Amino acid sequence: MQQRRILVVEDDGVTRLMLEMQLQHAQHTVVSVASGEQAIDLLSRERFDLIVTDLRLNTMDGVQVMELARAIDPQVEVIILTGAACTHSAIAALNRHAYSYLLKPVRPADLMRSVVDALARRHHIAESPPTYHVDHGAPVKAAVMHVGPLKIDPHRHRVTHGELMLALTRSEFSLLMYLFQRRGAVVSAQEIARDVLRCPCSPQEARDLAKGHIHRLRQKIDPPPHVHRFIHSVRGTGYRLADEDELT
């Protein structure tokens, strides 16, 4: 595994030390600080690949740390940890493109899985270069894929509608890929929250999160005059990507 630089932001000394030790054990270079202010000061002077931050800090919360960090380095990935998950904080974090939102105490395996995936996205590295992976999904060859007039380039993280380039966020692109990998099946809101948004939440919170992300993705992949319906809602079950015969 190639060594990467990770910044841990955690005001609880014991938790901070545990996170630092787990990440160092995985052969990463780890720097830890106790406040958001210290983190931003450090980020202004040094480069990091990933930030792992608690949501609730003494003065500056994790979402604020992420926003200020992205102003310095737009490509830095962020994992947010919290001791009390709620829809509001999850939506705030995910809408600002946190890579994942993990509930404390975080199992080491879950943390490391999220760290590996976030670093892979940061550096556009896949475990197998010719494939694109989403958690728990079958690999899809990294050739341009078609959904009606949509063209999806998983290697470049690029989606076009005809000649129009679509400006999808990271989470929107991941959601579209997730639906494509499961084309022909209905995907539940809880699967989307767990596998795409990486947010531990209740069934109702999952429905709220998935609904918002599906709505924003629909608005982008089906520009006016809205000829096609790419994503179908299945009442009481979830969502599915349209089959080709439904797009002709």
Q: Is 68 helix (H, G, I), strand (E, B) or coil?
A: helix
Question: In three state form, how does the secondary structure of 163-228 look?
Answer: CEEECCCHHHHHHHHHHHHCCCCCECHHHHHHHHCCCCCCHHHHHHHHHHHHHHHHHHHCCCCCCC
Pair 218, 167: CB distance under 8 Å? no
pLDDT of residue 13: 94
Cis peptide bond N-terminal to 105, omega within 30 = yes
Pair 85, 105: CB distance under 8 Å? no
User: Which CATH class for the 131-246 domain?
Assistant: mainly alpha
Q: How far apart are CA 181 and CA 133, in angstroms?
A: 9
Q: How far apart are CA 125 and CA 225, in angstroms?
A: 37
Walking along the chain (248 residues) 10 residues at a time, the average pLDDT comes out as 83 94 93 95 93 90 89 88 68 70 87 88 50 45 79 86 86 90 91 81 82 90 78 92 84
Question: Considering the entire predicted model, what is its pTM?
Answer: 0.58
The CATH architecture one would assign to domain 5-122 is: 3-Layer(aba) Sandwich (3.40)
Here the tokens at position 69 are: 């960090």
Query: Are 5-122 and 131-246 the same fold in CATH?
Result: no
Here the tokens at position 10 are: 């955690």
Q: Where exactly are the structural domains of the chain?
A: 5-122, 131-246
Question: In three state form, how does the secondary structure of the chain look?
Answer: CCCCEEEEECCCHHHHHHHHHHHHHCCCEEEEECCHHHHHHHHCCCCCCEEEEECCCCCCCHHHHHHHHHHHCCCCEEEEEECCCCHHHHHHHHHCCCCEEEECCCCHHHHHHHHHHHHHHHCCCCCCCCEECCCCCCCEECCCEEECCEEEECCCCEEEECCEEECCCHHHHHHHHHHHHCCCCCECHHHHHHHHCCCCCCHHHHHHHHHHHHHHHHHHHCCCCCCCCCEEEECCCEEEECCHHHCC
pLDDT of residue 131: 40
